[in-house]
Structure 1
Amino acid sequence: MTTSLSHLLARESSEKSGTVASSDSGRTAAARNYACEQDDSVVKHATILDIDPSSRLPKDGMTFRKPTVDSLLQRGPSEIMSEIKGHRTSIRWVHLRSNCMSWIEDLMEKVCEERHISMQDHNSQRPSTPVKINPLLRKDLWAHLFHGKASDQIQTRFMGPTCTPFSIDLEDEQSDSTSESTKGPRNNLVLYLPYLNWELAQSWKQRQELIQEAREGREISGQADSELIKMYLHHDTSPLHDRRTLHQAYYHDFGMTRSLPKYDQVMQRFTAEMTSEQEAKLLVVDQLWLWIIKGKGSNGQDNDEPMPDLVITAFPGRFNGCYDSADVYHGVIEHLERGLEPPLRSANDLAAVIVEHCTGVFFQRQLEADKWFLEFYAAAIGVIRDKQKAAFTRFCFTSQELEELQINQTSLLEVSRKLEDAAFSISVEATLFSQIKDIIDELECIDYILGRQDDMVRALTRTQKSRSLRTVSDIVKERRNTWAGIARTAKIAYTEIQAQMDLKQKQSSLAEARTNRYQVEDSARHGRIMLLFTVVTIIFLPMSFLATWFGMNLKEEDSGQLTLGLIAAVVFPISIVIAIVALVFAFSQRLRDWLASCIEKIIGGTLAILGIHGGRSTTMSMHSGLRRDRERPRRFDLRLRRLTESELDDEINDRRHSDDQIV
Structure 2
Amino acid sequence: MATYSERASCLSADPHDDIRDPVLHYFGCLEAWQRDDFFDTASPYWIKQVKTLKDSGILRPDAERRIRAQRGAYRNHCAEELHRVSLILSALAADEKKSYLLTDLASSLARWRSSRQYELGIELVRKWRADRRLPNGAAITYPKNETGKLYNPHSNIKVQVIAFKEGLPCNLDPQYATGTFPNQVTNVHDLLRHEKPLLSSLLQQKRIDNAGAESMWIHIPSNNMLWVEEVIARYYGEEKPTREQMRDGDEASRTSRLLRDYFWRGQEYGDSTKPSSHFMRPFSEFIAPSRRHMDSEAEKVVLYAPYLHWETSRQLNFITRKTEESMAEYTYNQRRAADSEKRRRMKDREGLKMPNLPSLWPFSRKLTFAEPEREGLRYAEPRRTRFQSKHPLGQYLLGMARLYEEVRNYEDTSLIQRYLFANPPLHPRRTLDQGYYTTVRSTRARNRTQVLYRATTPAKSKSHQFDSSTGLWTCPRSDIPSEGCDICRENVRKVSSVVMVDQLWMWVLSPQVVITCFPKRYGLRGPDPSGVFEAVQKRLIRDRPIRSVFAIAQTILDECSDTLFRRMKDFSEQPPVLDLFSEAIQDVSRKQTLETRRLWDWIDRARRINRQQEPHQTIGTLPWTMNTEGNLEQEIQDIVEELEIMISLTKTQFDVYKKFIQHASRFLEDRSSGYWCSDGEALWFGPRLLVKVEERIRHLESLLKDASSAADLVKDLSQLRQQQDSVVQALQSVKLSLDSMDQGRTVMVFTIVTIIFSPLSFLSSIFGMNNAEFGNNQWKVADQLKLILSISVGVTALALVFASRRVRAVAIYVVFCIAHPLRTSRRVSRLLGYGYWRMRNMRETVPESSLAARAITGV
Alignment of 1:373-388 (within 5 A): 373-388=577-592
- TM-score, normalised to structure 1, is 0.70
Partner of residue 394 from structure 1, selected from 598, 601, 604 = 598
Partner of residue 137 from structure 1, selected from 238, 259, 277 = 259
Partner of residue 547 from structure 2, selected from 334, 342, 345 = 345
Show the counterpart of 2:14.
none
User: Given the alignment of the two structures, is residue 428 of structure 1 paired with residue 428 of structure 2, yes or no?
Assistant: no
d(CA) in 2 for partners of 1:388, 1:457: 40
**Residue 379 of structure 1: how far off its partner (Å):** 1.0
Deviates more, 1:529-538 or 1:504-513: 529-538
The change in CA–CA distance for 1:189 and 1:433 in structure 2 (over 3 A counts) is same
User: Given the alignment of the two structures, is residue 242 of structure 1 paired with residue 435 of structure 2, yes or no?
Assistant: no
SS of the counterpart of 1:77? Answer: coil
User: Given the alignment of the two structures, is residue 272 of structure 1 paired with residue 457 of structure 2, yes or no?
Assistant: yes
Alignment of 1:97-176 (within 5 A): 97-113=221-237, 134-148=256-270, 150-169=271-290
d(CA) in 1 for partners of 2:291, 2:793: 119
The change in CA–CA distance for 1:254 and 1:484 in structure 2 (over 3 A counts) is same
Q: Residue 554 of structure 2 aligns to which amino acid in structure 1?
A: A
User: Given the alignment of the two structures, is residue 91 of structure 1 paired with residue 294 of structure 2, yes or no?
Assistant: no
d(CA) in 1 for partners of 2:840, 2:637: 50
**Residue 198 of structure 1: how far off its partner (Å):** 1.1
**Residue 291 of structure 1: how far off its partner (Å):** 0.7
User: Given the alignment of the two structures, is residue 362 of structure 1 paired with residue 546 of structure 2, yes or no?
Assistant: no
Q: Residue 433 of structure 2 aligns to which amino acid in structure 1?
A: H
d(CA) in 1 for partners of 2:753, 2:768: 22
The change in CA–CA distance for 1:557 and 1:363 in structure 2 (over 3 A counts) is closer
Percentage of pairs with the same residue: 24
SS of the counterpart of 2:565? Answer: coil
Q: Is the 8 A contact 2:313 2:498 kept in 1?
A: yes
d(CA) in 2 for partners of 1:351, 1:511: 65
Partner of residue 315 from structure 1, selected from 518, 523, 526 = 518
Show the counterpart of 1:600.
none
User: Given the alignment of the two structures, is residue 574 of structure 1 paired with residue 758 of structure 2, yes or no?
Assistant: no
**Residue 244 of structure 1: how far off its partner (Å):** 1.5
**Residue 317 of structure 1: how far off its partner (Å):** 2.2
Q: Is the 8 A contact 2:452 2:497 kept in 1?
A: yes
**Residue 76 of structure 1: how far off its partner (Å):** 3.7
Show the counterpart of 1:462.
662
Q: Residue 190 of structure 2 aligns to which amino acid in structure 1?
A: S
Q: Deviations over 1:573-609 (max 9, x none)?
A: 43343234323433579x9xxxxxxxxxxxxxxxxxx
SS of the counterpart of 1:323? Answer: coil
Q: Is the 8 A contact 2:755 2:796 kept in 1?
A: yes
Partner of residue 160 from structure 2, selected from 47, 51, 57 = 47
The change in CA–CA distance for 1:580 and 1:359 in structure 2 (over 3 A counts) is same
Q: Residue 269 of structure 1 aligns to which amino acid in structure 2?
A: R
Show the counterpart of 1:253.
439
Q: Residue 440 of structure 2 aligns to which amino acid in structure 1?
A: F
Q: Deviations over 1:317-343 (max 9, x none)?
A: 233314232211122122111124xx4
The change in CA–CA distance for 1:88 and 1:560 in structure 2 (over 3 A counts) is closer
d(CA) in 2 for partners of 1:63, 1:586: 105
Q: Residue 284 of structure 2 aligns to which amino acid in structure 1?
A: C
d(CA) in 1 for partners of 2:629, 2:508: 53
Deviates more, 1:238-247 or 1:188-197: 238-247
Q: Is the 8 A contact 2:298 2:510 kept in 1?
A: no
Number of residue pairs the alignment of both structures matches: 542
Q: Is the 8 A contact 1:290 1:314 kept in 2?
A: yes
The change in CA–CA distance for 1:170 and 1:118 in structure 2 (over 3 A counts) is farther
Show the counterpart of 1:652.
none
The change in CA–CA distance for 1:565 and 1:259 in structure 2 (over 3 A counts) is closer
d(CA) in 1 for partners of 2:221, 2:574: 26
Show the counterpart of 1:612.
none
SS of the counterpart of 1:317? Answer: coil
Q: Deviations over 1:419-464 (max 9, x none)?
A: 3x43x43221122222222222322332232222122112222222
The change in CA–CA distance for 1:489 and 1:371 in structure 2 (over 3 A counts) is same
Show the counterpart of 2:716.
499
The change in CA–CA distance for 1:186 and 1:642 in structure 2 (over 3 A counts) is farther
Q: Residue 321 of structure 1 aligns to which amino acid in structure 2?
A: R
**Residue 82 of structure 1: how far off its partner (Å):** 4.6
Show the counterpart of 1:617.
none
Give the CA RMSD over aligned residues.
4.5
The change in CA–CA distance for 1:111 and 1:119 in structure 2 (over 3 A counts) is farther
Q: Residue 168 of structure 1 aligns to which amino acid in structure 2?
A: P
**Residue 197 of structure 1: how far off its partner (Å):** 0.8
SS of the counterpart of 1:197? Answer: strand
Q: Is the 8 A contact 1:121 1:131 kept in 2?
A: no
**Residue 283 of structure 1: how far off its partner (Å):** 1.5
Q: Is the 8 A contact 2:452 2:499 kept in 1?
A: yes
Q: Is the 8 A contact 1:210 1:226 kept in 2?
A: yes
Q: Residue 202 of structure 1 aligns to which amino acid in structure 2?
A: R
**Residue 315 of structure 1: how far off its partner (Å):** 0.9
Q: Is the 8 A contact 2:163 2:214 kept in 1?
A: yes
Q: Is the 8 A contact 1:50 1:90 kept in 2?
A: yes
**Residue 567 of structure 1: how far off its partner (Å):** 3.2
Q: Is the 8 A contact 1:58 1:336 kept in 2?
A: no
d(CA) in 2 for partners of 1:484, 1:289: 27
**Residue 383 of structure 1: how far off its partner (Å):** 1.7
Q: Residue 316 of structure 1 aligns to which amino acid in structure 2?
A: P
Alignment of 1:217-616 (within 5 A): 223-235=410-422, 237-255=423-441, 261=445, 263-264=447-448, 265-273=450-458, 274-276=490-492, 279-295=495-511, 309-318=512-521, 319-340=523-544, 343-368=545-570, 371-404=575-608, 414=618, 418-419=620-621, 421-422=622-623, 424-465=624-665, 466=682, 467-547=684-764, 549-550=766-767, 559=776, 561-563=778-780, 566-587=783-804
Show the counterpart of 1:618.
none
**Residue 403 of structure 1: how far off its partner (Å):** 4.8
Partner of residue 66 from structure 1, selected from 158, 178, 185 = 185
Q: Is the 8 A contact 2:165 2:212 kept in 1?
A: yes
Q: Is the 8 A contact 2:233 2:240 kept in 1?
A: no
SS of the counterpart of 1:316? Answer: coil
d(CA) in 1 for partners of 2:582, 2:775: 109
Q: Is the 8 A contact 1:248 1:260 kept in 2?
A: no
**Residue 194 of structure 1: how far off its partner (Å):** 0.7
The change in CA–CA distance for 1:62 and 1:80 in structure 2 (over 3 A counts) is farther
**Residue 242 of structure 1: how far off its partner (Å):** 1.7
Alignment of 1:638-657 (within 5 A): 647=844
The change in CA–CA distance for 1:504 and 1:279 in structure 2 (over 3 A counts) is closer
The change in CA–CA distance for 1:171 and 1:384 in structure 2 (over 3 A counts) is farther
